[in-house]
Structure 1
Amino acid sequence: MPPEAQGRPQGLPGLKAVYGCVPASFAPLSDAGGPITVQALLENIIQAADVFTTSPLIAQHHLVTLADPLNNFPAQPVIPLMRTDRVAEKAVEVLNDVSASLTTEDLVMLNERASGSNKENPKDVAKTLLKEKGFDR
């Protein structure tokens, strides 16, 4: 987990309070659950990690996502924000429609294509997804 997880309610204190889990040790990693964290898992340096569910590294390396039935880790949905006094109402409607249609699987795919081994242009990846979802009006 990131270094700040040592004191955050959803970090080590939450694991102890919510699940009665006290890890034998704590390895602070500052790559936000990215390749350094995943490599540490694969090399058995660590046995559990905090990785975003939208990371394509989970499926690529056949990692197991643990359930959190007691909701120690709050959901972190993607939420678009804009100033309504600067954007036309139609743009707000379209953004809301697109946002409502995005799934975790879509976000994993977007991340994989834009940052994975192919490193496609994010703008092109987004255009393709919008077309696939029928937003190419």
Structure 2
Amino acid sequence: MDGKKVLVADDEPFAQNLIKMLYGALKVECVVVSNGKEALETYQKSPNFAHVLMDIHMPVMDGYDSTKQIRAHEKAKGLPKCKILGLSGDGDPKTKTACLNAGMDDLLVKPIKKEQLSQYL
């Protein structure tokens, strides 16, 4: 999977390090940001990601709002939709529905495994 790059938005340093390690094992470059605003800005500058892994609960801007704004940016610029995967410790069906309604493609529940990430590459 060399050459692929993903955007990860998560405010927890432990989670960031774990996710970097998992993507590293898959030989995927990982760009990590700490909130939804940074994710939006990073995506707007360079939308060439295999997917975005978006924590839903972050400071400054949450994953729901960031996803909505990324989708609006894609539409305004005529870009293809990038796969956005919500990330949460909450596996409640209502959480998944909220993710899908915000424009995410799926919800991954922490703790995540390398195999879960690899299926979206």
Q: TM-score band (shorter)? A: 0.3 to 0.5
TM-score, structure 2 as length reference:
0.39
TM-score, structure 1 as length reference:
0.36
Q: Which has the larger radius of gyration?
A: 1
- Which structure exhibits the higher relative contact order, with contacts defined as CA atoms closer than 8 Å and separated by 6 or more residues? 2
> Going by fraction, where is strand more abundant, 1 or 2?
2
